[in-house]
Structure 1
Amino acid sequence: MNPILIKTIQFFLSLSLLIVLHELGHFIPAKIFKTRVEKFYLFFDIKFSLFKKKIGETVYGIGWLPLGGYVKISGMIDESMDTEAMQEEPKSWEFRSKPAWQRLIIMLGGVTVNFILAVIIYIGMAWSYGDEYIKADSLKDGFWVTESTIGDKLGVKTGDLILAVDGNQVEKFSAIMGDIAYGNTITIKRDGNTFEQEIPEDFIATLIKDEDKMRFLSLRRPFIIAEVSEESANKNSGIQANDEIIGIGDKKITYFDEVKPILEQYKGKEVSLRVKREGNIEKQFAVVISDTATIGFIPGLLGLDDMEAKGMLKLETVKYSFVESIPAGINKGIETLSNYIKGMKKIFNPSTGAYKGVGGFAAIAGIFPDAWNWPVFWNATAFLSIILAFMNILPIPALDGGHVMFLLYEMVTGRKPGDKFMEYAQMTGFFILIALLLFANGNDLYKWLIK
């Protein structure tokens, strides 16, 4: 199946699940408090619906515009902008007739369900798959900075270890990039010395500028030969697939990143190349280095288990019982939300340049893999659920957070905002949301055109 189609299917499946459950979070408390729900829709039904069916007092349907979904609650200024009904006398089953605390629970239901859903997914992931990661401080000779210009900007180089971000220990190697993006300072270990260094304020902008180079920190791996190119001058040298290069000339080689600088010294020359074969057998061959400093060998990867056996790193495997997976899932949900809030703070600070990385639907779809992978799908869905919860609780009219803001004002002051004010606020909120939508998807389009 086409990778783009797979991404699209996963995106719409995840989005539909999140929207339906979010709206269910409003629907259920509305029903509990005997508030009439006129519509329950997945996607927006502007002008027409793809499907609709009335059951009881509620019309359930699917709209054609996949920008979200909604429940239309009687007696409430919402997405439908049905102001005519608001001119009539309040009915006992309308939203506006209910006590403020009940209206608050109804409005908070969606974001609450989204956060709970994310936690449930994380609990299920922990119980089903556990956790396996590379301990960040276990890399014997540090990490490999694959893009030196970005490394120089951050102040790190090959062989370094990042031990902490903002004073918090980095436990997993895979978490370093995310921690750096959200952080302000890093603790580096270099040549046995440990020191703290500030992360440049505009470092995120540096990463966004060239997303292909964003993963500029990598594991240092041995140079395992996967294949000898047929075009190589060294195809008959005796070198075989799975040989590990351990020396060039009089230079010892441990890692792949050490090879290129040494080959530059031997361009256009014949040199002795030492390899390790079948574990411990060392062999030596004469090879020719091309004028472009290549030897015509296609590199392969040594597995993490084999690297651990060589003492190059340490893998940590954690298995959770069902009971243990509950606090693990809750902690993961809180950690994800906390990191997302840190990221939003960066976005709203223009000097960081993080706003350039804001993406729309294409960016969201991009977090799903090209091939179907259930763990990745559920992890992405949980992350999107956290995002949906956070974005909806922002105090912007037309979002749940806007309604919550006005309800809290009413509960504190005892004064209810007028219907006309709520109508104007809702319209203002829509303009803000449309502007954000255009900006985010415009960023996607700009990146696509530039590439």
Structure 2
Amino acid sequence: MDPFIVKAIQLILSLSFLIVLHELGHFVPAKLFKTRVEKFFLFFDVKFALFKKKIGDTVYGIGWLPLGGYVKISGMIDESMDKEQMAQEPKDWEFRSKPAWQRLIIMLGGVTVNLVLGFLIYMMIMFVWGTAYVGPEEMPEGFAVVDSFEEYGFEDGDRILEVNGKEFENSLDINKHLFMRDVQNITVLHENGSEETIAIPEEIGTQMFEQGIMQPFVPIMAPVLDSVPTGLAAENAGLKKNDKILSINNKEIGYWHEIAPVTSENKNKEVELVYERNGEIKSTKITPDEEGKIGFIKNYDFDVQRKKFGLVQSISKGFDYGYWTLRDYVYQFKYVFTKKGASQLGGFGAIGGLFPDTWNWYGFWNTTALLSIILAFMNILPIPALDGGHVMFLLYEMITGRKPNDKFMEVAQMVGFFLLIALVLYANGNDIYRAIFD
């Protein structure tokens, strides 16, 4: 199946799952506090719905516009902007008639569900699949290091032993830690057998971001193909599993990390690729895509170790992994407010790209857990029209004892709604621009 279709199916399935559970987070406490819920929709039903059915006081349905979902709670100023209802006298079963603490719980329900769900999925992943890691013993060739990091004392062939004086279990995580965590020093084993502890400059993550160096350490591996997904350039060029890349565009390729610089220079340009198959030298024409990729999967020539956990350990490890996932995302969120960060914002295309090219449940659930935690964080931001905006006004009411008037809430809701629409258009516009021009 075409990788685009595989990613699209995973994206729709994952978002549908997360949206329904998020809205249930609002729906359940609303019902518990005897608040009427008029609608419960997956996707938006602008003008019409693909499916709808009324059960009791609530219309359940599926809209045609897959930009999210919603519950319409009676007596609440939301994206429906139902001014006629708000102009009437408050009813006992309306949101606005409930105590502030009940309204706060209702509004926090969706975020809480997404956050808890993300952690639970990570716990399930730890129990079913455990964690994969590659230690220095499994990487006899070590890392290739970008030029700017050689200035600190790193060398090609280095193997990571410790970070901040502690054993570093998974060497492949070093780039993530440098970018998003407090790395003060790294102890490496040089190719000549000597060990060295190298000090890392402060704000190294910011420097990496500004310089566009997000992978300063790349594993040194032979350029042998593990597999070739269908529908991509590599398959169209006739490449197969176990082919060894020898050169691209007349540039000799000795290791895997030497491929990306060549293909990135030749995006959407046809190049000649020379490879070895069963001892025979062959060549083919191939065109890297707009991201500089040619569609094959690495054959890791080192052993990936896997650590399995029991039920109790899985809970602890899953919680820890969820915490660091949330913490890392919050940390890197600051880059959104830079010119470069804003230009890298992505919409549904970028989200779909997080899923694997071929279906596997581990990749699906891992990405779904990440999206669940991202949705929780994004929804709690204090922006009108988001859950966080409602929470902000409710906290103001609980602290001051004064409720913002309906006119102010309507204007705030409208401003927040248009801000979100603009952000969605901008992010998806970035996806389109990159697909056409990059």
User: Are 2:366 and 1:379 equivalent residues in the alignment?
Assistant: yes
Measure the CA separation in 2 of the matches of 1:259 and 1:74.
60
After superposition, residues 391-430 of structure 1 pair within 5 angstroms as: 391-430=378-417
Say what the alpha-carbon RMSD is for the aligned residues.
Answer: 3.1
Q: Which residue of the partner structure matches residue 436 of structure 1?
A: 423
- Which of these two proteins has the greater Rg computed from alpha carbons? 1
Separation of aligned partners in 2, 1:65 and 1:380: 22
Is the Cα–Cα contact under 8 Å of residues 79 and 414 in structure 2 kept in the other structure? Answer: no
State the AA in 2 paired with 1:436.
L
Q: CA contact under 8 A between 1:161 and 1:188: conserved in structure 2?
A: no
**Distance (whole Å) between structure 2 residues aligned to residue 376 and residue 44 of structure 1:** 28
- Residue of structure 2 in register with 1:342 after alignment: 331
The superposition leaves residues 165-193 of structure 1 with CA deviations (integer Å, 9 ceiling, x where unpaired) of: 78886432232222233246552445422
Q: 1:417 to 1:193 in 2, by over 3 A?
A: same
SS at match of 1:369: coil
Q: Which residue of 2 aligns with 1:322?
A: 311
CA contact (8 A) 2:75 2:85 kept: yes
1:23 aligns with 2:12: no
Q: Secondary structure at the match of 2:78?
A: coil
Matched-pair contact (CA < 8 Å) for 2:177–2:183: no
Residues 1:201 and 2:202 aligned together:
no
Q: Secondary structure at the match of 1:401?
A: helix
Does the Cα contact within 8 Å between 2:29 and 2:105 map onto a contact in 1?
yes
Per-residue CA deviations over 1:354-399 (Å, capped at 9, x if unaligned) read 3332211100000111111110000000000001000000000000
Letter in 1 for 2:322: G
Aligned-partner SS, 1:201: helix
Alignment of 1:94-113 (within 5 A): 94-113=94-113
- What are the Cα deviations for residues 217-248 of structure 1, in whole angstroms up to 9, with x where unaligned? 3323468899xxxxxxxxxxxxxx999xxxxx
- Give TM-score, length-normalised by structure 2: 0.76
Q: Deviations over 1:247-294 (max 9, x none)?
A: xxxxxxxx958999xxxxxxxxxxxxxxxxxxxxxxxxxxxxxxxxxx
Structure 1 window deviating more from structure 2 (365-374 vs 31-40): it is 365-374
The answer (yes or no) to whether the contact 2:19–2:69 under 8 Å persists in 1 is yes
Q: Deviations over 1:384-429 (max 9, x none)?
A: 0001000000000000000000000111111111111100010110
Structure 1 segment 201-240 matched on structure 2, within 5 A: 201-207=206-212, 215=215, 217-221=217-221
* Secondary structure class of the residue paired with 1:35: coil
Letter in 2 for 1:371: T
Q: Separation in 2 of the partners of 1:49 and 1:169? A: 55
TM-score (norm 1): 0.74
> In structure 2, how many angstroms separate the alpha carbons of the residues matched to 1:200 and 1:372?
32
Supply the distance in 2 between the matched residues of 1:419 and 1:4 (Cα, whole angstroms): 45
Q: CA deviation at 1:160?
A: 3.2
Amino acid at match of 2:9: I
Tell me the SS of whatever aligns to 2:83. Answer: coil
Partner of 1:175: 173
Deviations 1:424-449 (A, max 9, x none): 01011012112221221122122212
Aligned residue number for residue 144 of structure 1: 144
The amino acid of 1:197's aligned partner reads I
Q: 1:71 to 1:257 in 2, by over 3 A?
A: closer
Q: Is 1:331 aligned with 2:334? A: no
Q: Give the distance between the partners of 2:320 and 2:49, measured in 1 at CA.
A: 40
Query: Retained in 2: the 8 A contact 1:162–1:187?
Result: no
Work out the CA distance in 2 between the residues paired with 1:8 and 1:225.
25
In structure 1, the gaps of 5 or more residues are 209-213, 227-240, 244-254, 261-299, 306-314
Q: Which amino acid aligns with 1:318?
A: K
Contact 1:160/1:189, CA 8 A, preserved across alignment? no
Q: 1:49 to 1:374 in 2, by over 3 A?
A: same
1: CA distance between counterparts of 2:71 and 2:225? 59
Structure 2 distance, partners of 1:347, 1:258, is 28
Aligned residues of 1:45 and 1:62 also touching (Cα < 8 A): yes
Per the TM alignment, residue 347 of structure 1 is displaced from its structure 2 partner at its CA by: 2.4
Q: How does 1:115-134 map to 2 (within 5 A)?
A: 115-134=115-134
Post-superposition offset of 1:17: 0.4
How far the C-alpha of 1:98 sits from its partner, in A, is 0.4
Partner-residue secondary structure (3-state), 1:370: coil
1:172 partner letter: N
Q: Which residue of 1 aligns with 2:12?
A: 12
In the TM superposition, what are the counterparts of 1:285-304 in structure 2 within 5 Å?
301=299, 303-304=301-302
Separation (CA, whole Å) in 2 of partners of 1:220 and 1:428: 51
User: How many residue pairs align between the two structures?
Assistant: 369
